[in-house]
Amino acid sequence: MVMQARVADLDELHGRGLVPSEAQAQVREDWQWRFYAAVHRRMTTGEVDHLIDMQQGTPCPAAAAAAGVAAAACLMEEDRPDEAAALLEEAIDADSAEPVDYAWLSVQLARAYVEIGQLDMARALAASVQGVAASRSM
């Protein structure tokens, strides 16, 4: 719901005790709830730096990829594609993502490269991950 900006629905669910408030989620031990709080904060305030911080302490490589892509997408929305590219390059260099998450990170990096005018790098990177879909069974 937070990704759909359905904040009123989330507030209702919080009122019924089904989900924590953003403030409660921010201090939870569970990384997923803290990530929820960071995305919620981005959607309601426009702030992005706390979302960048969510890359620290991720519980698994898939969570690290999600945090990296979310932060990079927000940076690009804020016209900060150089920072997005650096963040994504670091995430890819960690070399811990599963193939589909590697492709997700790479496509977002290609998008950042387009924004900063590195079109050849963007094309090469985008082409390099096209085979991932074909290698996954449906």
- For 98-137, how does the pLDDT look when each residue is reduced to its tens digit (9 = 90+)? 999 999 999 999 999 999 999 999 999 999 888 776 554 4
Q: How far is CA 28 from CA 14, 24, 82, 102, 127, in A?
A: 15, 7, 32, 28, 40
Query: 48 and 83 in contact (C-beta within 8 Å)?
Result: no
**13-22, 60-69, 103-112: lowest mean pLDDT where?**
13-22
Tokens of 81: 């594609």
Q: Which of 1-10, 30-39, 62-71 has the lowest mean pLDDT?
A: 1-10
pTM for the model: 0.82
Q: Is the dihedral of CA 12, 31, 96, 123 positive or negative?
A: positive
What does pLDDT average to over the chain? 86
Report the C-alpha dihedral over residues 21, 23, 26, 30, rounded to 10 degrees.
Answer: -40
Domain ranges of the chain: 1-47, 61-138
Q: Which of 20-29, 81-90, 95-104 has the lowest mean pLDDT?
A: 20-29
What pLDDT score was predicted for residue 75?
96
What's the CATH class of domain 61-138?
mainly alpha
pLDDT the model gives residue 14: 63
Quickly tell me which residue has 């919620």 as its tokens. 40
Return the higher-pLDDT residue of 10 and 22: 22
